[in-house]
Amino acid sequence: MVISVVMVISVVIVAAMILVVVAAMILVVVAAMILVVFNGKVGSLTGSNSLKAEVGETVLFIHAQANRQSYPHLIGGHGDFVWERGNFSDPPKTDLESWVIGAGSAGASIYTFKQPGFYAYLSHNLIEAFLLGAAAHIVVDGEWDSDLMKQLEEPSPIEQ
């Protein structure tokens, strides 16, 4: 009887220690995830803080990541020229939809805006982008170029 009580107490202590370790690991992961933002804080480059550009304007995006890989993506555009490791003496990759910035590294991309509208620059890890703030918005003004894309119908509500 004494042995079984000691065994039960030992099992309970080990289980409690495992729970403490797991809880600590979860806190570390959550703390690291909270810090995935653009320009220092959530919302710093969205909404009323969105970046502004004009059709025909060429923009250089610098993307740095301290702790993990990041996967930049420009929704509505792409990387005309991309330096994934940030070394401008290397030949750039061209016309990339998304690219990889290594942990502890920085990269750069250039895009010339071809149409007016709303563009989103974000981490292609969509949890980081939508839940943790790794997103920026660019509002582009200018004239629509129907030679690039022609609108066939006026926007309308979706019928169910």
Q: Between the CA of residue 28 and those of 4, 10, 32, 71, 97, what are the distances in Å? A: 36, 27, 6, 22, 32
Q: State the pLDDT confidence band at 149, using cuts at 50, 70 and 90.
A: confident
153 in a structural domain: no
More confident site: 95 or 24: 95
> pTM of this prediction?
0.72
Contact indicator for 68, 103 with CB cutoff of 8 Å: yes
- Is there a domain that residue 31 lies in? no
Residue 112: domain span? 47-141
Q: How many domains does the chain contain in total? A: 1
The verdict on residue 3 lying in a domain is no
- Please indicate, yes or no, if residue 132 is contained in any of the structural domains: yes
pLDDT per residue over 114-147, tens digit each? 999 999 999 888 888 878 888 999 999 999 999 9
pLDDT at 24: 67
20 within some domain = no
Please give the distance of CA 57 from its chain centroid, rounded to a whole number.
Answer: 23
Q: What is the CATH number of the domain that holds 108?
A: 2.60.40.420
Asked whether residue 61 is assigned to any structural domain, the reply reads yes
Could you tell me if residue 65 is inside a domain? yes
Instruction: Tell me if 27 is assigned to some domain.
Output: no
pLDDT in tens, 3-46: 676 676 777 787 778 887 777 676 656 655 565 778 878 888 99
